[in-house]
């Protein structure tokens, strides 16, 4: 199981940490906010992150804008803003595209590729939920589980 998180903007809530416990890997889809968020997540599981449009400074420059995660037999493409997708996920044989930016949790399948936005785990934006996702990897496919938190 992979934990998927995005748009923390420097805020890592205790409920989010608890929801990610037990995952094998954590993917952060950008707008991290500060290096402390990544350090805390790394106490739970290895972290792969991409830089979001609000990630600035020397710490952020070390983080790529896109990343490819190979886990088990799956290949996942990670970026912050889906509008900047620069590859054809089908032609590249990606199983999923993981992204953030909009703060809106979403799950969609396009041409057998899973598109997953876990929503925002950081400060609440308007009436959008605070959320993360867990991605279950089985021999038969990828199954996303969205987790929303109250106030």
- The full set of domain ranges for the chain reads 2-149
Q: What pLDDT shows up at residue 151?
A: 56
- Among 11-20, 58-67, 108-117, 121-130, the least confident range: 121-130
pLDDT tens digits for range 83-97 = 999 999 999 999 999
Please provide the distance, in angstroms rounded to a whole number, between the alpha carbons at the two ends of the chain.
Answer: 26
pLDDT (average), residues 33-58: 97
Answer yes or no: CATH 3.60.21.10 is held by domain 2-149: yes
Q: Where on the phi/psi map is residue 78: left (φ > 0), alpha (ψ -120 to 50), or beta?
A: beta
pLDDT tens digits for range 102-137 = 999 999 999 999 999 999 999 888 888 999 999 999
Residue 98 has pLDDT above 80, yes or no: yes
Do 125 and 103 form a contact (C-beta atoms < 8 A)? Answer: yes
- 138's enclosing H/E stretch is strand 130-138
Distance, in Å, from the CA atom of 31 to the CA atom of 7, rounded to the nearest integer, reads 5
Distance, in Å, from the CA atom of 62 to the CA atom of 50, rounded to the nearest integer, reads 10
């Amino acid at each position: 199981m992979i934990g998927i998180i995005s748009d923390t903007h420097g805020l890592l809530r205790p409920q989010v940490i608890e929801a990610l416990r037990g995952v094998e890997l954590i993917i952060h889809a950008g707008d991290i906010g500060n290096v402390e968020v990544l350090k805390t997540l790394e106490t739970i599981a290895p972290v792969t992150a991409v830089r979001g449009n609000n990630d600035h400074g020397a710490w952020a420059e070390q983080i790529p804008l896109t990343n490819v995660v190979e886990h088990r037999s799956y290949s996942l493409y990670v970026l912050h803003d889906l509008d900047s997708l620069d590859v054809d996920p089908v032609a590249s044989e990606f199983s999923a595209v993981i992204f953030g930016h909009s703060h809106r949790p979403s799950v969609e399948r396009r041409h057998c590729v899973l598109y997953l936005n876990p929503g925002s785990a950081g400060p609440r934006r308007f009436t959008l939920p605070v959320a993360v996702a867990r991605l279950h990897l089985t021999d038969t496919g990828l199954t996303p589980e969205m987790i929303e938190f109250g106030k």
